[in-house]
Amino acid sequence: MSKRVLTTESGAPVADNQNSASAGIGGPLLLQDQHLLEKLARFNRERIPERVVHARGSGAYGYFEVTDDVTGFTHADFLNTVGKRTEVFLRFSTVADSLGGADAVRDPRGFAVKFYTEQGNYDLVGNNTPVFFIKDPIKFPDFIHSQKRDPFTGRQEPDNVWDFWAHSPEATHQVTWLMGDRGIPASYRHMNGYGSHTYQWTNAEGEAFFVKYHFKTNQGVRSLSSGQAAEIAGKNPNSHQTDLLQAIERGVNPSWTLHVQLMPAADAAEYRFNPFDVTKVWPHRDYPLQRVGRLVLDRNPDNVFAEVEQAAFSPNNFVPGIGPSPDKMLQGRLFAYADAHRYRLGVNHTLLAVNAPKATTARNYGRDGFMASNSTSQGRAAKNYEPNSYDGPAETGRALSAPLPVTGYTGTHEAPQHTKDDDFYQAGELYRLMSPEERSRLVANIAGGLAQVSRDDVIEKNLAHFHAAGPEYGRRVEEAVHALRED
């Protein structure tokens, strides 16, 4: 029996629901991809008023201080002097559950930093893992649907979770992270943060480098077992929020050391992994960590709703010296995050205190919309167009970052394959780095979820992924799943 044809909302057949249209293989994504934009725009409008993802969050203010000279790699003003401090706001979150969900659950954690720089706000939106489940944004709404509450049963369904992963072998690396010992942080203070995506730095001479961000917790990494987490979540669903609030109130200010990995732009084409694939890491032996500075949180918000729930982060908020890469997931988020905030908070959400620039002033020709105020009109006689003859704000003509070369034909392309690019090698490497005890806990966590799936074919597809990551990894997961299903 043939399947029904997938269509757009206007009824047109969809040719490719796995790959976004890009400018050549590996190039930036195209605004003309109506299917991608329609999926992301509709997805952003599925819930009101809480966030569709990352709804359950906590946050705090602090500062970032430069400790090491990185001016050879970027001309970003807030990084140009050792000892320079920039005010920041950091929002932590879980991903899948609603605003009323518990903190101590097995779920990736959002790690979003807003730097209030003198050249405008710079938002770095990442997670507590260096990788993600998928590599193309066209799959993001489907992925989140599979992880959220089922529309019929009203609960997260193992059948949905593992069925999506069965059809998405690139998720194997992140599943290994999530089901491992770091899958449930003991607190927000005791986890690392990562930019996850690949970004671009440009120095004053115009040289381009690709960069990955690593915020290493100075409190030490601490995590919870599944049993500990279940007990804590039952007793205090707000455990991580409470811990962060009380630590800062006591003056025990959490901090992270920022390191970066830097790749000369010329290295990208021949690197053994696709450097723009967010399901992959760059091994440190290839590109060692270089220290940049220290992030400290020292002030709690006065109003959680006004400052945490209304905080809006968008990865397209760049500053001179920092820009995007061809990372497909990043490219999709450049649109989707800002669009989500315009829907959820309104087009003037950037005027809210937590989102407004603090070290400079926003000057543009945006007008009116919901929650418009006098601050959006910029004076009785101010013109609302550009160019003009009335001394209004004008363009600089200076690009924020280096241009990205593009070649090839428009169309929906799979990501270019590098020499070591497959969906399983790095997942296997992560497994082999673990201690015997860590491996046992990982296997138990995977089997505990996978054994609940009702369809044998979905179980077999997932087992094939773990076998591909490594013979021992696959064998142990298979044995554990079969033992649980026979009980």
Which residues have a catalytic role annotated? 54, 127
Report the distance separating Cα 157 and Cα 141, nearest Å. 16
Residue carrying structure tokens 């249209």 = 21
Residues contacting 302, CB < 8 A, separation 6+: none
Residue 288 phi/psi, 5-degree rounding, is -65, 155
Nearest CA-CA partner of 133 in 196, 88, 74, 194: 196
What are the φ/ψ torsions at residue 59 (nearest 5 degrees)? -155, 165
The CA distance from 289 to 284, in Å, is: 7
- Rounded-to-integer distance, Cα 170 and Cα 427, Å: 9
Q: Count, in order, helices (H) and strands (E) of the chain.
A: 13, 12
Phi-psi domain of 59 (left: phi exceeds 0; alpha: psi -120 through 50; beta: other): beta
Question: Checking phi first, is residue 404 left (phi over 0); if not, alpha (psi -120 to 50) or beta?
Answer: beta
What are residue 468's phi and psi, to 5 degrees?
A: -65, -30
- Spatial separation of the C-alpha atoms in residues 177 and 238, rounded to whole Å: 24
Query: Vertex 95, ends 93 and 101: CA angle to 5°?
Result: 75
Alpha-carbon gap, residue 172 to 177, rounded angstroms:
9
Q: What angle do CA 296, 298, 303 make, to 5 degrees?
A: 125
For residue 314, CA distances in Å to 248, 334, 339, 408 come to 26, 7, 9, 29
Sign of CA dihedral 329, 332, 333, 337: negative
From CA 145, how far away is CA 104, in angstroms rounded?
21
Backbone angles phi, psi at 323, to 5 degrees: -155, -175
Half-sphere exposure of 141 (CA within 13 A, CB side): 20
Q: What is the DSSP letter of 300?
A: -
Phi-psi region of 153 (alpha: psi -120 to 50; beta: other; left: phi over 0): alpha
